[in-house]
Structures are given as structure tokens and as C-alpha cells.
Amino acid sequence: MRKRVISMLLAAVMTVSMVSGMAVTAAAEETEGKQLSVQIGPDPETIDPALNSAVDGGNMLLHAFECLLTIDQNGQIAPGQAETWEQSEDGLTWTFHLRDGLKWSDGSDLTANDFVYSWKRVCDPMVAAPYAETVLGMVEGFDEAIGGNLDALQVSAPDDKTLVVKLSAPCTYFESLAAFATLSPVQQATVEANGDAWAIAPETYISNGPFYVTEWVPGSHIIMSKNPYYWNADAIKLGSIKFNLIEDSNAAYTAYQNGEVLMIKDVPTEEIPSLEGSDEFFVDPIIGTYYISYNTQIEPFNDPLVRKALNLAIDREYVANTIMQGTYSPATNFMGPGWVDTDGSSFMDNANGGEPYMSATADIEGALAALEEAGYPNGEGLPVLHYSTNDAGYHKPVAEYLQSAWAEIGVTLEIEIVEWSSFTPMRRNGEYEIARNGWVGDYADPSNMLDLLYSTNGNNDGKFNNPDYDAAMDIARSTIDPEERSAALHQAEDIMMNEYACIPLAYYNDFWMQSPKIEGAWHSAYGYWHFMYADIAD
């Protein structure tokens, strides 16, 4: 009896674990060639080009797909699936000429019609692509297409190797969009046969880039193997890349130390001080700025002088280098490094006559003077201000810093920590006084970020409304003269910086660890790691 009881109990315990099936995760498929094991983020929510809006997914798409154009190692536009391209004189018609013999990863032919299908799919309301308007909003017929009449979109393929796009307004940065992952081609037959699920199984995830997905265990890893049908396959040295979907930065760091992965994106912040100076630790800028929004529609933030005072009281050098441990760089402009001016040069270098708009260190006297001019000498008469942020990364330490920095000019700040999912809609609806904000660019044209302060922009969380600013942005939108456009964009930044529309705090950087064994990989200002042409030294 005693044995029976124990065995019954054990049986009860074990049934559950048995019922669940003992199918252990299939061992990695044997692939030829070297496998590079890296960590560039947790499980992507989606790797469907049309649906992705996150950098994690973007890194995957970059390796699995190739757009008409690509961005090269120097941040310049380069040929991709299209070998040559041209725009009409009025800037409204773009023609792309595809390479010879393009193929999908399943070996079938890829034609210009695949692009036509894919671009129309991005507009499909049933697909509901988050970036549809960003990447195709300027194409003629977009408004009808987004309403469901997909064929209204003026994208056509006169022959298998030519793609013609008609725009409703000039878009001088259309090349950047033609290199944007949302506009990657997807295979019509596969997508139509499988619906949204085409992008979750390696068998149906047909792509056209340097690699193709051969295994995806959600929450564990994605393996991509070299795509032998890729036009430039001869230049690919790796046999496969294993993207380890590690969520915990300490786990990633351990795996790196053990040599299980050769590159990790998520470095534990507490390790950073000991890593500085190491030749395996890298810091590189990405296009984006950590900034603070004022709700410019309410008192006292409708007064540019108050905004100025709060702006000047901040020591950005201290924030970026001490609080953020050098993983950010102090922001003296709104538009930081990496943004490309209309002539291909650095937008930041050309801004404000080449001078920074603000000092990287605090100007307490200037701040006090501005406060006095606004009618609040030494902060007297100002109500208690409220700063809203979610708690992640450096957000809370930054909030605490602001509290102490603004106390120096007599401003009392209360911090409100809000859960991220509640924080985002709250900020968007303007239910705050001062709030953490940030933007990482989708493409390197400065309009991508300057649009944030356009009065009707959906991301204008501060509800900044300045007719001169809007006018400058309107010119930037409509002109096809590069110089006029550049001048308008710089004028817009001048206006928002002089008005202290928000508080640019720090420029984003990516920081990561990478083994010297990895050769031929590079990191771009878009926050992407390019491993397609990498190799592993023996």
C-alpha cells in the first residue's frame, strides 16, 4: 500500500509533465559554414516587413530582406534590388530598374510585380501596417488605397524589371523610403495562402535578402542561413547567423563572457564603468534624441521664458556622462549626429552656423534671468511642477536629477512614475505638465524628427503650435530644390530652439560588446547591426 501511495503521487506529478509532451526543442539544423551567434534583442513581435515598427524586428528584416535600395556602411543610399533609378524633373515620378535574375529564397523568380503587390499590401486596411502613411503617404492614390481600393495606388510594373512610382507631392527623400524595411518585397502566393501566419514559420517565410530564416523558436532563437539565391551571395562568408533572443542583460553578458555569443546588444548598465576603455565595448551614435516635452498649451509652459529657464538650468554634460554613464551624449541641438542634410553632409554640422544652440553645461544665471523676466524671480510665484515618466533605463535617475537641478533656480518638481502602457496615451493626450520623451529616426532625413513639432502631427505631444515653424516645414515638404529645402529645415530647428519648444537632453547611442573575432560587420545610425558580410576570424 505504501508503495502504491507514493507511486500514485509520483504518477500525478509526472502525468502533467508527460502530457505536455517531451518533444525537446529540435537541435539546431546543421548548416554549412560558420555560424555567428549574436544577441540583438528579445523576441521580435513580428518579422513581417509590413507590420514591423520596432528596431528588434528591423534588425531581422535587414538580414532576411532587401529593398529596392539599401544604406551602405557610410550611411549613404546604395543600390539594392534595384541597380539604377531616376526621378523625373518635377520629382513626381520615380523609376527603379531591377537587377537581372533576382530570386526569392525558395529559388523562384522575383519581379517588379512583387514590389507592386507588396507596396499595395502595406496600404491594405486589413493588414493595418503601422508605417503605411510614413512610407507611402506621398504616393498618388494613397488615400484611396488606405480606404481599401488598393489598385488606386500609383505603383506599376511596365515590365518585370521596372517599377514606376508616381507621387502626389515631391519627396526628395524618397530614396530613403525605398530603402525602408516596410517596403521590402513579400511573396504574394505565400502570403495569400497563409495570411498573417506566413511570417511565423520558417517554411513559409520566403525572403529575398542575404539570409533566410531556417529556424525560429520564439523566446529562444532565430537562425538565418545564407541565401544561395541572393544576387550577391558570393560576398557572404557566414553559413548562418544565430540571433539569441535573450531578454535579460545579465544573461546576455554571461553568455558573452562564456563565448556562447560573440556580440551582445544588451550590456548590464552596472558593468559599464568597468568596461570603459575595453576594446570589446563600443559606443556609437544613432539618429535620435532623448528630450523632454512641455505641455505648451498650459501655464506656465506657454511662456517661452519659463521653458528657457528650465532648459538652461540643466547640465547636460552631467546627465549624459555621469547619470547615463556615457551611454548617451549631451544634446546641444534638437537634431543630433547621423541626420543627413539634403546634400549628403551632416545636418548637425550645418545647424546654427555650425555652432551648438545651447551650452552642454548649466547656465544658472541665464536661467534665473529668464525666470525673473517671466515674472517669477527666483522661482517665486511658480506652482509646483510635475514631471511624468515611466520607469525604465535611466528615466527615474534623470527625473531625480531634474528635481535637484531645478531646485537650484527655485523650482519645485514632483515626479510621477507611470506604467509605460498608461504613460504613452497620457502623454499623447496632453494629460501632463512635463514629460519624458524621445525619438529614434526611421530614416535619416531631418524631416522625420522635425515633423514632431508640426502643429497637427500625431506625435506632437507638447502641442507646440507655431505658424512660422509650420510654414518652414511646409516649404521643406513641397520644394524640390535641395538648397531651399535645407534652409527651410534649418530654419525650423532655429525656431524651435529659440522658442525652447522642448528640452533636448541627450543624443541616443547604441552601446554593445563585440568580440574582435567578428570581422566585416558594422553598426548604422539607424540602430542596426549589419552582419551580412561579416566573417569570424579563426
Name which of 27 and 384 has its Cβ closer to other proteins: 27
Query: Does 136 participate in binding other proteins (rule CB under 8 A)?
Result: no
Q: Which of 23, 278, 353, 354 binds other proteins (CB under 8 A)?
A: 23
Query: Does 171 participate in binding other proteins (rule CB under 8 A)?
Result: no
Name residue, grid cell 544576387: 231
- The closest of 262, 264, 364 to 310, measured between CA atoms, is 364
- Binding pattern for the stretch 218-257 against other proteins, x by CB under 8 A and - elsewhere: xxxx----------------------xxxxx-xx--xx-x
Tell me how far apart the alpha carbons of residues 66 and 52 are, in angstroms, rounded to a whole number: 15
**Per CB under 8 A, which region of 103-111, 290-298, 397-405, 414-422 contacts other proteins?**
414-422
Q: Which of 48, 114, 341, 470 binds other proteins (CB under 8 A)?
A: 48
Q: Which of 144, 260, 317, 494 binds other proteins (CB under 8 A)?
A: 260
**Per CB under 8 A, which region of 3-11, 102-110, 295-303, 380-388 contacts other proteins?**
3-11
Query: Does 269 participate in binding other proteins (rule CB under 8 A)?
Result: no
For the segment 180-219, give every residue that binds other proteins (CB under 8 A): 195-200, 217-219
Please report, as a single letter, which amino acid is at residue 344. G
- Binding pattern for the stretch 277-296 against other proteins, x by CB under 8 A and - elsewhere: --------------------
Query: Does 329 participate in binding other proteins (rule CB under 8 A)?
Result: no
- Binding pattern for the stretch 447-466 against other proteins, x by CB under 8 A and - elsewhere: -----------xx-------
- Contact predicate 173/489, CB 8 Å: no
Q: Max CA-CA distance within the chain?
A: 93
Q: Quick one: which H or E segment has residue 529?
A: strand 529-530
Q: Closest approach of Cβ 520 to other proteins, in Å? A: 25
Q: Closest approach of Cβ 82 to other proteins, in Å? A: 27
Whether omega before 504 lies within 30 degrees of 0, making that bond cis, reads: no
Q: Closest approach of Cβ 102 to other proteins, in Å? A: 26
**Per CB under 8 A, which region of 11-19, 271-279, 345-353, 493-501 contacts other proteins?**
11-19
**Per CB under 8 A, which region of 301-309, 337-345, 425-433, 480-488 contacts other proteins?**
425-433
Query: Does 407 participate in binding other proteins (rule CB under 8 A)?
Result: no
Name residue, grid cell 521580435: 44
Neighbours of 143 (CB within 10 A): 15
Query: Does 20 participate in binding other proteins (rule CB under 8 A)?
Result: yes
Name which of 253 and 401 has its Cβ closer to other proteins: 253
Query: Does 274 participate in binding other proteins (rule CB under 8 A)?
Result: no
Measured at the alpha carbon of residue 314, what is the angle toward residues 310 and 319, in degrees to the nearest 5? 140
Compute how many residues bind other proteins; rule: CB under 8 A. 71
Q: Closest approach of Cβ 5 to other proteins, in Å? A: 5
Q: Closest approach of Cβ 83 to other proteins, in Å? A: 32
Helix runs in 179-223, H state only: 188-194
Q: Closest approach of Cβ 133 to other proteins, in Å? A: 4
Residue 259 DSSP SS3: coil
**Per CB under 8 A, which region of 258-266, 269-277, 329-337, 399-407 contacts other proteins?**
258-266
> Cell numbers at residue 180, please?
525602408
Query: Does 72 participate in binding other proteins (rule CB under 8 A)?
Result: no
Burial class (CB in 10 A: 0-12, 13-18, 19+), 273: exposed
Tell me how far apart the alpha carbons of residues 309 and 306 are, in angstroms, rounded to a whole number: 5
Please report, as a single letter, which amino acid is at residue 1. M
* C-alpha pair distances (Å), 223 with each of 55, 63, 338, 380, 513: 18, 11, 30, 61, 20
DSSP state of 39: E
378 contacts: CB under 8 Å, gap ≥ 6: 368, 371, 372, 409, 410
> Cell numbers at residue 324, please?
547615463
